[in-house]
Amino acid sequence: MGDHVDKRRWKVGELAEATGVTVRALHHFDEIGVLRPTERSATGHRLYAIDDVRRLDRVLALRQLGMSLSEIATSLDGQVDDLELAAREQLAQVEQQIGLQRQLRRRLVTLLGAMQETPEPSIDKLIAVMEAMMQASYFTPDQLARLKQGHREAGDEGFARWQRRWAELATEVTAHVEAGTDPAAAVVQETARRWSDLMDHMTDGDRGTLSSMYAALDGKGPEAATRGVVSAEVWDYIKRAFAVGFGSRR
């Protein structure tokens, strides 16, 4: 007997319900070539085969690794070497973060030792040390130097403008959340595009620094990392907008 071929087909709504991915996101994946359905019905509806479902699983897994949709499409459609290279780049970033966490552990051990020797350290000094350690746990010395240089070049007025613009975008995102707008909607994607442009400007287009900044928002919590500018609700929503559209890092 020949090999069994699974001929089952899923409509877009059925696939969305089974995977938790929104219908709008599946439409977007089709439009940009990340996941195109194997067939179309006589009336033009998308029909997904088992191979499409497997590809969607890989897309979602790679998104969890932090890869952009464009990188995923290139990796899945290219040679095995393309996917291996992308995985190695992600691994290098993870190992960098592990190294920074080890560095943070050493600093914490040192701080605790100092506190035992001096039972009542200055509160201001303690806060300053803790903030410095939290920064070091996410940013490399080179990234911190670049951020400080960028802030010096922008000056107090320029940095205040960045903060105001970020707060305005956070308010805009809050409005989308309260309206119940789908993160893949065009109006939300435009907000995500402007958010991404602002972040590129703040980090001088350095992808590593931007990744570290977003890691700090996840690790410290957005409200702590941005001194109240970005709430947890806003950060969760804008990440979902990034996952399905423009905001995915190039």
Q: pLDDT tens-digit profile of 22-44? A: 898 899 999 888 899 999 998 98
Does 176 fall in a domain? Answer: yes
Q: Verify that 147 and 250 share a domain, yes or no.
A: yes
Question: Do 59 and 145 share a domain, yes or no?
Answer: no
The CATH number of residue 60's host domain is 1.10.1660.10
More confident site: 185 or 250: 185
Distance CA 11, CA 9 (A): 7
The residue with greater pLDDT, 163 or 129, is 163
Place of tokens 């069994």: 4
CB 96, CB 140: distance < 8 Å: yes
Q: Which domain holds residue 23?
A: 10-64
Query: In angstroms, how far is CA 140 from the centroid of its own chain?
Result: 19
Tell whether 47 and 147 lie within a shared domain: no
Q: What is the pLDDT of residue 208?
A: 76
- How many domains in the chain? 2
- 172, part of any domain: yes
Residue 248: CB atoms within 10 A of its CB come to 21
User: How much is the pLDDT for 247?
Assistant: 40
Whether 179 is in a domain gets the answer yes
Residues 40 and 146 both lie in one domain: no
Q: What is the largest CA-CA distance in the chain?
A: 80
Contacts of 204 (CB under 8 A, 6+ apart): 146, 150
Q: Is 204 left (phi over 0), alpha (psi -120 to 50) or beta?
A: left
As a whole number of angstroms, the distance between CA 27 and CA 4 comes to 30
Whole-number pLDDT of residue 248: 42
